[in-house]
Amino acid sequence: MPILIVEDDNFYAQRLKEVLMDFGLEATLVNSTQEALSSNIPLYAAAIIDIMLPNDPDITGISLRESRAGYLSGVALARRFRQKVPNFPIILFSGYFGSFEGESWARDNGILFFSKEDGPGALKYCLQKIGIIREVKPRVFIVHGHDEHALIELKDYIQNTLNWQKPIVLRDEPSSGRTIVEKFEDFASSVDYVFVLMTPDDIVRNVKEDDKRRSRQNVIFELGFFYGQFGRKSGRVIVLHKGPIELPSDIQGIIWIDISKGIKESSGDIRRELKI
């Protein structure tokens, strides 16, 4: 069964279609809510819908208020698809920075969401989650500092306990003529999950306070990068911390898993966050 793509940006719609073709899937393209609503939904395996779409209220019955003047037309469309076919598989996406309301609605209604900036890996992840393509063993990127023991233990846990693919550790991968940033961006765009090892590697001195231990600067940078790429609430960035360490104040309140007693001792907490 084909997949319905609802997107008014023809170039991006074609890109999505080509990604689906690479997975051996067929796709039908439409570029407005009115075209989408005239489609025979039971003939499709799923729908991939842009949150912001052209909408004619006189034809669709979707008011300007409900569509937020077009900014959430895709959400209104997804709502009607689910009314027609309960539990119909839907993936929402957006390239609009202010799409927080749409993303929140998707999360509250059990619908997957990705950003246009996330790359093909995000679409692949969503297709696996709704069962459209076979779910392969997840690919993990490890962000780490100087704690070699914790790094080795985490690699072993991912490969031999979770039975996932060999994790990506940037320093172990070939550069192939790329700068460090280019290499990082290339590998970061193709992973399903990220494990961040926050270990007390650096001493920070403040004239008004005692010395504090913090993670390496690259760890903080890469943590922020992946939060930006996947979203803080995506469940795809797992933060592990060890020992006496000062955690960044601007992201206090998120779930940090304490691995001071070892990775395997924290396996239950890790699996809970991974939902496995």
Q: What is the CATH number of the domain that holds 160?
A: 3.40.50.10140
For 171, the 3-state DSSP assignment is helix
User: What value does the mean pLDDT take over residues 157-178?
Assistant: 92
- The pLDDT confidence band at residue 121, using thresholds 50, 70 and 90, is confident
Domain enclosing residue 59, as ranges: 3-129
Which CATH number does the domain housing residue 124 bear? 3.40.50.2300
Which of 117, 104, 245, 86 is CA-nearest to residue 188?
117
| pLDDT value for 204 | 60
- Look at 49 and 176; give whichever has higher pLDDT: 49
- The pLDDT confidence band at residue 210, using thresholds 50, 70 and 90, is low
Show the CA angle centred on residue 26, arms to residues 16 and 125, nearest 5°. Answer: 50
> Is residue 228 assigned to a domain?
yes
Q: pLDDT tens digits for 174-201?
A: 898 999 999 999 899 888 899 999 988 7
Instruction: Report the relative pairing of strands 212-214 and 202-204 from DSSP bridges.
Output: antiparallel
- Look at 8 and 215; give whichever has higher pLDDT: 8
Residue 110 CB contacts under 8 Å (≥ 6 apart), including other chains = none
Q: Which of 101, 129, 157 is the last residue of a domain?
A: 129
User: What value does the mean pLDDT take over residues 81-89?
Assistant: 94
Q: Are residues 85 and 157 in the same domain?
A: no
Q: Are residues 25 and 151 in the same domain?
A: no
Q: Is residue 81 scored above 90 in pLDDT?
A: yes
φ and ψ of 211, to 5 deg:
-60, 145
Q: Is residue 168 scored above 80 in pLDDT?
A: yes
User: What value does the mean pLDDT take over residues 66-88?
Assistant: 93
What rounded mean pLDDT belongs to the chain?
88
Number of independent structural domains in the chain = 2
- Look at 22 and 13; give whichever has higher pLDDT: 13
Q: Are residues 145 and 125 in the same domain?
A: no
Q: Is residue 111 scored above 90 in pLDDT?
A: yes
Q: Is residue 211 scored above 80 in pLDDT?
A: no
Strand partners, 112: 91
> Is residue 135 assigned to a domain?
no
| pLDDT value for 205 | 58
- Look at 112 and 250; give whichever has higher pLDDT: 112
The DSSP string of 48-116 is EEESS----HHHH---TTTTTTTTTHHHHHHHHHHHHSTT--EEEEE--TTTHHHHHHHHHTT-EEEEG
Distance CA 33, CA 14 (A): 18
Q: Are residues 198 and 235 in the same domain?
A: yes
